[in-house]
Amino acid sequence: MLELKDFCFTIDKDGEPLNLIDRVNLKIPKGHFMAIVGPSGCGKTTLLNTIAGLNEMSEGYIYWDGRDLEEEGDLEPAELGYVPQFSIAYDELTVDESIEAVTKLRVKTRDLDDLDQRIDRVLEETGLAPIADRLVKVLSGGQKRRLGLAMELVTDPTLLLCDEVTSGLDPRSERDIVRRLHDLSRRDGRIVISVTHSLAHLELYDSILVLHEGRVAYHGPPAGLTHYFSVEDTEEIYPRLAKQDSNRWRKSWEKHADVYYSKIEKNRNKLIDAGELNVPLTASKQTSPDTATAPIEVEDEDWDEINGEVPEKASSSKRNKRKKEKSPDTEPLSLDDDNDIIKETTEAVRTPGAFSQFCTLLARRWKIFFRDRGQVFLQLAIMICFPLIVILFAEQGNETLLSFSDSGTDYSVSGLENLNKIASNRAKVGGAVSGIIMFQMVLLALMGSNNAAREIAGERKIMEKEKFGGVSPFAYLLSKITFLVAIILVQSLIMGIAVQSAWAFKGTGSTSYVDHFIFLVLINAAMTFICLGISSLMKTSEKASLLSIYLVGFQLPLSGAVLALPETVGMITRPFISAYWAWAGSLQHLRTDYYAAVKGVTETRIDFNSTTCMTILGAQILIGLILTYIGIRRHQWEH
Residue-wise pLDDT for 537-550, tens only, equals 998 899 999 999 98
pLDDT the model gives residue 447: 96
Is the residue at 121 inside a domain? Answer: no
Asked if residue 479 lies in contact with residue 361, where contact means CB atoms within 8 angstroms, the answer is yes
pLDDT the model gives residue 17: 87
Same domain, yes or no: 223 and 270: yes
| Cα R_g (the chain), whole angstroms | 34
Q: Of 340, 366, 392, which marks where a domain is finished? A: 340
Is the residue at 92 inside a domain? Answer: no
Asked if residue 7 lies in contact with residue 18, where contact means CB atoms within 8 angstroms, the answer is no
Same domain, yes or no: 371 and 322: no
Is the residue at 145 inside a domain? Answer: no
Same domain, yes or no: 332 and 410: no
pLDDT the model gives residue 168: 82
Is the residue at 204 inside a domain? Answer: yes
Same domain, yes or no: 290 and 372: no
Residue spans of beta strands (DSSP E) within 301-389: none
Is the residue at 233 inside a domain? Answer: yes
Asked if residue 387 lies in contact with residue 442, where contact means CB atoms within 8 angstroms, the answer is no
Same domain, yes or no: 261 and 175: yes
Is the residue at 286 inside a domain? Answer: yes
Same domain, yes or no: 514 and 446: yes
Q: How many separate domains does the chain show?
A: 2
pLDDT the model gives residue 446: 94
Which regions of the chain are under pLDDT 70? 278-347, 404-412, 415, 510, 561-562, 638-639
pLDDT the model gives residue 562: 67
Q: Which residues contact 172 (CB under 8 A, 6 or more apart)?
A: none
Same domain, yes or no: 473 and 548: yes
Is the residue at 456 inside a domain? Answer: yes
Distance in angstroms (rounded) separating the CA atoms of residues 459 and 365: 11
Same domain, yes or no: 367 and 446: yes
Convert the pLDDT of each residue in 490-529 to its tens digit.
999 999 999 999 998 988 776 788 999 999 999 999 999 9
What's the predicted TM-score (pTM) here? 0.84
Same domain, yes or no: 467 and 559: yes
pLDDT the model gives residue 291: 36
Q: Which residues contact 101 (CB under 8 A, 6 or more apart)?
A: 93, 360, 364
Same domain, yes or no: 368 and 417: yes
Same domain, yes or no: 55 and 23: yes
Same domain, yes or no: 516 and 599: yes
pLDDT the model gives residue 606: 86
Convert the pLDDT of each residue in 195-254 to its tens digit.
998 888 899 999 999 999 999 999 999 999 998 999 988 889 999 999 888 999 999 988
Q: Of 314, 340, 366, which marks where a domain is finished? A: 340
pLDDT the model gives residue 410: 59
Determine the structural domain holding residue 317 and report its residue range: 2-79+157-340
Is the residue at 574 inside a domain? Answer: yes
Domain at 8, CATH number: 3.40.50.300
Q: Of 306, 340, 374, which marks where a domain is finished? A: 340
